[in-house]
Structure formats: C-alpha cells, structure tokens
Amino acid sequence: MSAPGLPWLPGATGQALAALCGVVEQAAGEVMVVYRQADVGQQTKADRSPVTQADLRADALIRRELERLFPEAEVVSEESLHGRTALPAGAHFLVDPLDGTREFIGRNGEFTVNIARIEDGRAVLGVVGLPVTGEVYAGAAGQGAWVWRDGTWTPLHAVAAPSGPDGRLRVLHSRSHLAPALQHWLHALPMPLQCEAAGSSLKFCRIAEGRADLYPRFGPTSAWDTAAGQCVLEAAGGRVVDRAGQPLRYQPGRELPNPDFFALGDAGLCAAIGLPSRERPRPGIWARRSRSIRSG
C-alpha cells in the first residue's frame, strides 16, 4: 500500500513532502524490479564504487519526476552529475537514487532511496525510502518527522542518550566503511557502548525513531548521502554536526564531499563525546567503561 499524503501538514510544505514521498516510492519500485533479477547489471564507476541498473533506473525516474513537479529547482543526483563538483545556488534537490549499492548487491535489504530539498544551505524537506520493506521516512524542518509503516504514519522522536541497556550508548557505524580512525575513536570514549553496523542512510532514521543514539562517520561521504537522512533526524529532534560542533550545511558553492560528521539523537552528547558544544551532558550517566561491541 502506498503512503498517503500528510493532511496534518498544511499548505505547500505538506503538498511538496507528499509529492516527494510519491517519487521515492516510485523509485523504490524501480529498484525492486532489478533486485528481483539474478543479474543486477553491476558495473564499476571511475571512483571504483559500484553502480547497478537499479541506480540508473531510479535516477532516471527521480530526475524526470522532480523536473516535472518542481521545475524551479535544480536536481543534483549522484548518478547524473555531468561534471558538477560543487553545490548550486538557489533551491535544489540532493538525490541518492540508491544509497547503499554494496548492500543492494549483497542483498541484505539495508539500502535506501534518498531525496532532500535544500534551501538557504539547509535540508528543509527529506524523504528516505526502504524499498525492501516499503517503509518511508519523511521530515520537514521545524514541522516534524514521521515514518510510514504497517499502513499508518507514526511521528518520530529522537530520545535522550544513553538509551541502551545498562546505560550504554547505542552507536551505529557503516557496514561497508568502518575506518580504523573511527575504531580508535570509539575505543577512546569514556562510556559504555553498544555498537551495531547498518547500511545506508537507515542509520539516521534509526536515531530519529529512538533506536540508536549516535552515528559517527569518518571518511568519504557526499552531500546526497546525508541530506535526506539529516532532515528526518533534525525534524525528529536530533542533530548532525561536524568536528567543530557546527551543523552540517549545504551552502552554495560547497564542494560535494562532506567533512567528518556526527549524527546524534541528543544534543547533550556533543560535550560528552568531546565536541565543542553549548549543551552540557547530564551528570553521572556514564560512570562505567564496560562495552558490548557487536556487528550485525
């Protein structure tokens, strides 16, 4: 069943977000057509990352629909950059037609379709779709975030950290890109951890729905990898910041690669993990240093 509109979100914002949800669902359908085939048409791009027919089919559909629905806004998509190296001025869309191509090829279900609308350097609308489950996460800056699951829209709310058992900080890390520098950073944290691997922008969504506390990312990502998930998380009450504790932004002329960043459900975590912050961590919540680290 397709996700209906969001009637509680009034005016142009609600209409635009509902339209983006529809585009994401259509693209997810294109992805699943290829996913069910024995040969997904895997190739290797110039940067040595994989691409499949699902990436290309979803990209073509999303670009066509966004250009039809929102002709005033440029579309910046991972699979059709045409030599672009920086973000444009004015309102535009950041698109990852298949985030988690390695997960797609590995057939573990942890891949997403991402669309974000950028205005004044911020992701103001974001939609993340999970093709395998049919779930859709949607966020509007200052309005809220929701997930379409089991035939209904449910509000999303990030939770206070730590939210794990026995006061553990629940940490998500990339399934395909666990850098040694990140492993060292995690082991240096003065708090008990419960770590789990997950693919694609699903990590932002899990924090947004209170299923995790922190997603630190050291290493290469691009604007289209983060914008939609960041919008959902921030609309649910979380934050995404760089090493200086500043919000991750998409200002005109910014190069496409992201800096290292931290996605958090609780702003108070910034100070607790050593980032510059005006927020102070709550006292006495991380007295022990034991860990439970697992990969899933």
Quick: pLDDT tens for 135-173: 999 999 999 999 999 999 999 999 999 989 888 999 999
Assigned domain for 2 exists: no
DSSP letter for 88, please: P
Q: Are 287 and 168 in contact (CB under 8 A)?
A: no
Out of 155, 177, 212, pick the residue that ends a domain.
155
CA distance 89 to 74: 9
Evaluate if pTM is beyond 0.85: yes
Residues 93 and 176 grouped into a single domain: no
Largest CA distance in the chain: 55
Q: Are 129 and 136 in contact (CB under 8 A)?
A: yes
Residues 208 and 124 grouped into a single domain: no
Residues 198 and 151 grouped into a single domain: no
Assigned domain for 141 exists: yes
CA distance 22 to 138: 11
Out of 120, 155, 190, pick the residue that ends a domain.
155
Structural domain count, the chain: 2
Q: Pull the structure tokens for residue 147.
A: 């997930």
Quick: pLDDT tens for 260-286: 999 999 998 999 899 987 665 555 444
